[in-house]
Amino acid sequence: MPVSLDNLLVVGISSRALFDLEAEEAIFRTQGLEAYRRHQIENENEILKLGAGFALVRALLKLNVLTHNRRFVEVVIMSRNSSETSMRIFNSIKHYDLDITRAVLSGGSSLAPYLKAFNVSLFLSLHEDDVQAAIDSGVAAARLYQKPENALEELDQIRIAFDGDAVIFSDESEKIFQTQGIEAFENHERENALKPLPEGPFARLLKALSYIQNNLTSPDGRSAPIRTALVTARSSPAHERVIRTLRAWDVAIDETFFMGGVAKSDVLAAFKPHIFFDDQPGHCDRAAPLVQTGLVPLKQVPPAAPGHS
């Protein structure tokens, strides 16, 4: 029978996000595909350095060794490379002893059509176009910033931090704030406090992490191996709807910070997440030197078809 990925947290990650391929990317952009192909083949036995998403992937894969009878996480390497130029990637995966056996090598084509084929729950890349296409197709995705100096620090837990609106929740309320201001936003949230917020692109990921937390404890039997945080610009009175929404989803977030407009970077530096997801470039720019950061683009709505006269 074929293997099913339906009940797993599947992370799709580009080769450039898993490993440091910036020099190779520069060769491709400045010298072209043939020079890039030749370079990769000539250096296929040279192990790649660690990329922006490596620490998170390594930490997530460790969840599978905490139990002997089931897997929780699957990682799929997803690359626009051809099979001819991918040996260096596979050699590096083997060198670092990463439990990654599945790959999509699209030979220059878009990766987005293959995300749902592999039931991808989260897609990470440094290519803006691929990330946007993933979000537009309904898959949680983020464009990674280059890793900060402390990104590979070993932590006892997997720590993941999320922004709220347009990440965990939809951008419905965010649009009101952007177009009508803070007073209209707060009035809207107060009036709808008992109505759960619509799901955003990362709601499914948060629920999957919550499921793993509830079904897996660390070897000491006391603490879950995953710790989550919500770091949102919201404050009172807009906090109530967030709390009630998470309760309606039966999701418990370990740490919640209602920042009320205060910069998020110091809180994130104290929490030390493997990754922080936010939709605002300003928040990401400030956080990126301190913690690994992923920018979540807004879903692009295709233009309406012209009417018939």
Question: What whole-number distance in Å separates Cα of residue 196 and Cα of residue 113?
Answer: 31
Amino acid, res. 268: L
User: Among this protein's residues, is 163 annotated catalytic?
Assistant: yes
Question: What whole-number distance in Å separates Cα of residue 75 and Cα of residue 79?
Answer: 13
6, 20, 129, 163: the catalytic one is: 163
**Half-sphere exposure in the Cβ direction for 179 (13 Å, CA):** 7
DSSP secondary structure of 214-272: HH---TTSSS-SEEEEEEES--TTTHHHHHHHHHHTT---SEEEE-TTS-SHHHHHHH-
CA 282 to chain centre: 18
| Token pair belonging to 65 | 């060794």
| Cβ contacts of 293 within 8 Å, gap of 6 or more | 144, 145, 275, 276, 277, 278, 284, 287
- What length does the chain have? 309
Question: What whole-number distance in Å separates Cα of residue 33 and Cα of residue 27?
Answer: 8
Question: What whole-number distance in Å separates Cα of residue 294 and Cα of residue 146?
Answer: 9
Backbone angles phi, psi at 290, to 5 degrees: -105, -40
Question: What whole-number distance in Å separates Cα of residue 62 and Cα of residue 114?
Answer: 25
Query: Could you list the active site residues?
Result: 163
